Structure 1
């Protein structure tokens, strides 16, 4: 029998949690049909929530396996979940995201079609209310052998946490994540990139879930998207991404060195990270400051764009054109270009705003 555990990690997301659990249980029902050799289990780990999360989890009774622990961050949830699962495969679902009913079935069939360490799939970007925006992530498809490029420092295109399923034995060969205050977040970074060095990756073109983009209460003041519209994730602003990525890479290098006996390059190459640095430097900057940065401090950004092994020439040309729009002495054009470069949610918001005005 092919089996998979959906591990739902939650911290104070009671407003989304029920929908996430119900979406996982829909997969249990879908794969419990007569004649099916696939089994889906649901493990919910609550990381010390102080809202109504416990009541919601307990309302599902024996349909889920609940674990309640003190708050230690997302990495502790991944470490504990991986230690507890007894199935061959695992999928870590963020409690603000959802799975579509046949997600686990398609994932298990993909695992059965080859000797894969990970199966990833696309996610619909959905609004806080659960409405599909028309955007999917990721935008690029990686090769099956991502290890060769990772060994040169290139981070490969991957969906957010909820769009990845792992062979448990492969992930255990890289984990656990070292625990410290700075490792509380972004556990999926270590899983997504560490797993690539243990085996091939299967990238499905199917969209099998929803990635919910929602803004914190403090970011909802006013009508403008502002710099919040440049955020690359729900839990991090653009400045935090710039600070955190280098130590994440260094931690990954340590994990790979001690667990697999390999040495990764001292520096990583990733357009997502470099575009984040671009947005931080140029958003609200004067025309002179934008020209100066693009002329003298953007070498790594353009290297990650032009050398990107996952993009077509047309996509590179489009990104290059948007970047050069930042040289135009217009704040409105600058904001448009940076938001469009930055993330799918911002692109959708801009299209909706333009449509409403039109």
Structure 2
């Protein structure tokens, strides 16, 4: 049966083993459309030593009812009484992890069956403490519409400031390399970007496993999203979250807007070609 955990339930420390325990945090809010596909993509991983911490951010639909039908002790549900956003939900999951490695998965994305196995093998052989991968793009029905394309082999804090190339659902972190937990900021947008920056301040570098391991779902209404609406949130990252000097923030904003426009145009073209 599915285990329901209180939001403040602490994780436990496990010794390292040949098949390390991987904790997967999935924030959910009214996620009925894709949550079963998402969760099953984790349960069907070739690496079986894992736990799924599905944090429900006060859903009003039948998300929890759907998950209650899954009979797998690796799935643990953390219900929250008040909707407080994905960042808070992810933080509740991070507080409850038991594993040696942390992976994140959005509630409408999905993984390839060997994602965890390949990423663990790469991290253990290369010594990487923070790892991201390439990913493909899918539509609401799960059909492939494109890909992330090539990504840099590694990225540092300063490099990520200029262009965030890490996708949340591709990330894996060696928790043993962190002296204390790293959390998401409680902001409306770009909380994943700030989380990656916070990790890089501690770990120094993230490395690329140059393979497609996950699918990022793009909904029709967001394919050509207006980047002008994101400007204040990006500015908040530079000036408030990272407290960067004004001149550097302005320079970074210019580069971000150019890169974001290029990525957005590329996704639109991929979407159109796939129709």
TM range (shorter): 0.7 to 0.9
Q: Which runs of 5+ in 2 are unaligned?
A: 1-16
For 1:288-320, what per-residue CA distance to the aligned partner results, in whole angstroms no more than 9, with x for missing partners?
xxxxxxxxxxxxxxxxxxxxxxxxxxxxxxx7x
Cα deviations across residues 194-228 of structure 1 (Å, max 9, x unaligned)? 2222223220111011111113xxx4xxxxxxxx5
Could you say which structure has the higher helix fraction? 1
Give the 3 Å change call, closer, same or farther, for CA 143–176 of structure 1 in structure 2.
Answer: same
2: CA distance, partners of 1:169 / 1:71? 31
What residue number does 1:166 align with? 173
Q: Give the alignment's Cα RMSD to 1 decimal.
A: 2.8
CA contact (8 A) 1:249 1:268 kept: no
Does the CA-based 8 Å contact 2:50-2:74 persist in structure 1? no
Describe the SS at the equivalent of 2:131: strand
Alignment partners' CA distance in 2, 1:201 and 1:75: 21
Are 1:269 and 2:273 an aligned pair? Answer: no
1:91 paired with 2:103, answer yes
The aligned counterpart of 1:202 is: 207
C-alpha contact (below 8 Å) 2:135/2:216 kept by paired residues: yes
Q: Following the alignment from structure 2 to structure 1, what is the Cα–Cα distance between the partners of residues 174 and 194?
A: 15
Partner of 2:271: 349
Q: Select 2:60's aligned residue among 25, 50, 54.
A: 50
Which structure has more relative contact order (CA 8 Å, sep 6+)? It is 2
Corresponding residue pairs, total? 252
1:213–1:345 Cα contact (<8 Å) kept: no
What displacement does 1:172 show?
Answer: 6.8
State the TM-score, normalizing by the size of structure 1: 0.63
Q: Give the Cα–Cα distance (whole angstroms) in 1 for the partners of residues 259 and 164 of structure 2.
A: 16
Within a 5 Å distance, the mapping from 1:286-301 to structure 2 comes to: none
Deviation at 1:250, TM superposition (A): 3.1
Contact 2:189 2:233 in 1 (8 A): no
Structure 2 SS opposite 1:116: coil
Shift of 1:94: 0.2
- Does the C-alpha gap of structure 1 residues 252 and 155 become closer, same or farther in structure 2, counting only changes over 3 Å? farther
